[in-house]
Amino acid sequence: MEDGEKQTGTREVETGRLLALLPEEVARMPHHVFETDTERIVLITAKENADGTVEEYAGFARGRYAPHIHDQTDSEFTIVTGTGTALIGDERIPYAPGTVLKAPRGVAHGFEADSDTWLHTQLSGHIYDEKTGVSDFRHP
């Protein structure tokens, strides 16, 4: 087996493990996987509201989810599963299931996950527009 095949298999197992942590009705929704050299995030768009707000689930494995900024989008996170530390601006905030965190537009936020983590996220708009290919995502 080639290294690329091993890596793909590992990624599929990780995605399956993350999806298994969610209620079945959410886990069955279509999901997208976004990857960088060091991170892998599973996103599920659960609902698009009439006022333009979006509800998403974001899942990532134990480890670091690097701080990033959304210049046009406010975010509110409710921790569904997992424990760790949220990095919001200059603050380090411990999190566990039920913790609610807010990251206003323009403020860097990321996570240091002690265990596999799912967030239910309320967004003031789309972070990635599939129609235009425009992304409201950058690293500080």
Confidence of residue 10 (pLDDT cuts 50, 70, 90): low
> Residue 102 maps to which CATH number?
2.60.120.10
Is 58 inside any structural domain?
yes
Check if the beta carbon of residue 77 is closer than 8 Å to that of residue 103: yes
- What pLDDT is stored for residue 3 in this prediction? 41
Task: Give the pLDDT confidence score for residue 4 in this predicted structure.
Answer: 43
Q: Give per-residue pLDDT as tens, 86-133.
A: 999 999 999 999 999 999 999 999 999 999 999 999 999 888 877 888
Helices assigned H by DSSP within the chain: 3-19, 24-27
Q: Note whether 74 and 126 are within 8 A (CB).
A: no
Domain count, the chain: 1
DSSP sequence for 75-86: EEEEEEE--EEE
Amino acid at the residue 31: H
pLDDT above 50 for 6: no
140 part of a folded domain: no
Per the structure, the complete domain to which residue 83 belongs is given by: 3-135
